Amino acid sequence: MKSIVFLLSLGFTTFAHAQSKAVKDWVAAQDYVFKAQTAMPLSGRVRNLTSDYDLKVSQTAIVSYLPYYGQAYVAPMDPSKGGLDFTSKDFSYTSTPGKKQGWTVTIKPRDYKDVQSMTLSISSDGYATLQVISTNRQSISFNGVIAAPPKR
């Protein structure tokens, strides 16, 4: 019985180490996807997301397909553009070591003026929190996971 428990814990440790290395490689290569699972508006309740919402990060572009819940100070020109749905090809990206072998990634789009900054707090296990600070809307946060980049 003890040997089974030992083998299971060894397998879990190996899997966790492999996951941690993969996340580290994705962040270093600036090539991953943040998959949002919950949205936390500044005011209001936490919402579980049932659709596939994500933020794709690569060296050449940031592609955001995220919902927005909260107060907007200026209405969008196109009512169908209510979420954080944009592509940025001109942005700054900084990654710094964070707590417990994690990372803090700050993205500042220069060609999409509605978003001032997006800050990802990424754990070595691949769990992440994304905080979006907007120009014309209240801040919103998302919890989710980091996943492998899409196949090109």
Listing DSSP states for 85-147 in one string gives EEEESSEEEEEEE-GGG-EEEEEEESS-TTEEEEEEEE-TTSEEEEEEEESSB--EEEEEEEE
pLDDT for 145 = 96
Q: Where are the domains of the chain?
A: 2-147
- Positions of the chain with pLDDT lower than 50, given as ranges: 4-17
pLDDT for 7 = 41
Q: So what CATH class is 2-147?
A: mainly beta
pLDDT for 73 = 79
Between CA 75 and CA 72 the distance in angstroms is: 7
pLDDT for 28 = 87
pLDDT for 3 = 55
pLDDT for 70 = 84
pLDDT for 65 = 95
